[in-house]
Amino acid sequence: MNRERIFAWIGVAGALWGLVFAGISSLDYASHLDRGLHDLHCSFIPGADASVSGEGCRTALNSPYSALFKQEIWGGIPISLFALGCFCFLLGYALTLTLSSRGSSRGGGLLYALLAISPLVVSIVMFSISYFVLGTICKTCAGIYVASLALGISGIGVAASSWSQRGSMSMGALVIAAAVALGMLFWVLAPSVVYAALAPDHTPFVTQCGQIKTPKEAHGALLDLPGRAAQKHALFFEDPLCPTCKSLHERLREAGVLDRLDVELSLFPLDSECNWMLDQPLHPGACKVSKAILCAKSPAAMLDWAYERQVDLAEAARTGGKVLDNFISARWGVEVTRCMGERATQQRLNRQLHFAAANSIAVSTPQIFIEGQRLCDEDIDMGLMFALHTLAPELLP
């Protein structure tokens, strides 16, 4: 077997591997179109058991980088569909090279290399975003990265093996090369076009999750977090140690939405230390961090810090004793920790919890109301940009 055929077989293996992981990722994404929460296949092993958490895959799924046209289509068009079409085409191309009785010309080898390397370039970009921006690596995505690497090696190997095959580039060869490139473009776009055409319209569901019952807290206990260019009023029920709240906060900031909102924040710690609606703490330490936010001179800055250091705060709370108090005072001073123990602070937090109870807020965070309209839980995750575009398009850049 000659070298070119060996590298072509590597391309076949890489394309098949990519098809498996791109297919799994696309199916996981599409399963959420029924607006339910579904398990994710987040493993380096194809077909491994799915889980609700999905570790880094859930982060990637809800990130702004997981799909295109998120404002126009609920959840957007997953980029894994583009990978699916690309791997389909390259599988056929690589198989053609393995089954051909003639070696590729220099031009043919270069054309295959250019097309086979393209998913590797995209994977490098997506890996950089995942690692440096999201701070996690989706295992299903990693499977696609490995497939792209194999195809890149295949492309370089085929080009190097066919380099000695000289020949003039005729007009007919150029036409064939252009047709092949256009063929790949068609295969890359086709799954996405079909998906967009068949995706259900979620517009009627966005406004079906209810209105706020009691829009104002009688004692003025809520926190005001006005945006720099506020255009809409919003009411947030958040727990500072809730990872989903942190994720939502970051996505709203990155999209420029927070600057356009006049936010009233009602702290809703899922911690039985102060929240009588719970038998056991879901986020131990959330009560203390909530009190710290109430005591801060700049609650917005304290909330941002709490989200930024959320893992450290949760670990300090698990350690117990005065560790969490010391962690907070080391950054914000003993005045804050002293204030946390005052009766007035406890009373203010209690009024916020009563405000949540008066509005029948589910014991789950975050809960978001824009101009009194509640955002559905599913619209806070995958459908966030679509829901905002439907309810208040002026909030989006």
Ramachandran quadrant class, 333 (left: phi over 0; alpha: psi -120 to 50; beta: rest): left
Mean pLDDT score, 257-264: 95
Count Cβ atoms within 10 A of the Cβ of residue 322 and give its class: 0-12 exposed, 13-18 middle, 19 or more buried.
exposed
pLDDT at 369: 96
What would you report as the CA-atom Rg of the chain, rounded to the nearest whole angstrom?
A: 26
Q: What is the DSSP letter of 13?
A: H
CATH number of 3-198: 1.20.1440
**C-alpha torsion sign, points 269, 273, 276, 279:** positive
**Phi/psi of residue 374, each to 5°?**
-75, 135
What is the average per-residue pLDDT within 2-13?
Answer: 92
State the DSSP string of 246-295.
HHHHHHHHHTT-GGGEEEEEEE----TTT-TT-SS-SSTTHHHHHHHHHH
Task: Name the fold adopted by 223-395.
Answer: Glutaredoxin (3.40.30)
The DSSP call for residue 32 is: G
Distance CA 41, CA 57 (A): 8
Residue that wins the pLDDT comparison between 172 and 197: 197
Q: Which of 134-143, 197-206, 366-375 has the lowest mean pLDDT?
A: 134-143
Residue type, 139: K
Q: How far is CA 376 from CA 71, 166, 201, 366, 383, in A?
A: 16, 62, 15, 10, 9
Least confident of 1-10, 46-55, 276-285: 46-55
Where in 71-222 does DSSP place strands (E)? Answer: 77-78
Collapsing DSSP to helix, strand or coil, 179 comes out as: helix
CB 281 within 8 A of CB 270: yes
Strands 261-267 and 232-238: parallel
Contact in structure between 265 and 238 (CB atoms under 8 Å) = yes
Range scoring the smallest mean pLDDT among 94-108, 131-145, 307-321, 380-394: 94-108
Q: What is the mean pLDDT of residues 10-25?
A: 95
Mean pLDDT of 254-274: 94
What is the rounded distance in angstroms from the CA atom of residue 137 to the CA atom of residue 10? 25
- Could you tell me the residue ranges of all domains in the chain? 3-198, 223-395
pLDDT of 169 above 70: no
Amino acid identity at 284: P
List CB contacts of 223: < 8 A, sequence separation 6 or more.
Answer: 264, 265, 266, 267, 293, 294, 299
Q: Which residue has the tokens 């890996």?
A: 127
Distance CA 356, CA 5 (A): 66
- List, in order, residues 6 or more apart from 171 with CB less than 8 Å away: none
Q: What is the reported pLDDT for 65?
A: 87
Residue 56 to residue 35: CA distance in whole angstroms: 20
Q: Tens of pLDDT along 333-351? A: 999 999 999 999 999 999 9
Q: What is the arrangement of strands in the sheet containing 373-374, beginning at the earlier edge strand?
A: 223-226, 261-267, 232-238, 367-370, 373-374
Residue 22 has pLDDT above 60, yes or no: yes
Output the pTM of the full model. 0.83
Cα 227–chain centre separation:
24
Residue with tokens 């389909």: 88
Distance of alpha carbon 144 from alpha carbon 376, whole angstroms: 32
How far the first Cα of the chain sits from its last, in Å, is 57
Whether residue 353 contacts residue 286, with contact meaning beta carbons closer than 8 Å, is answered with no
C-alpha distances (whole Å) from 247 to each of 5, 104, 323, 338, 364 are: 47, 50, 25, 30, 15
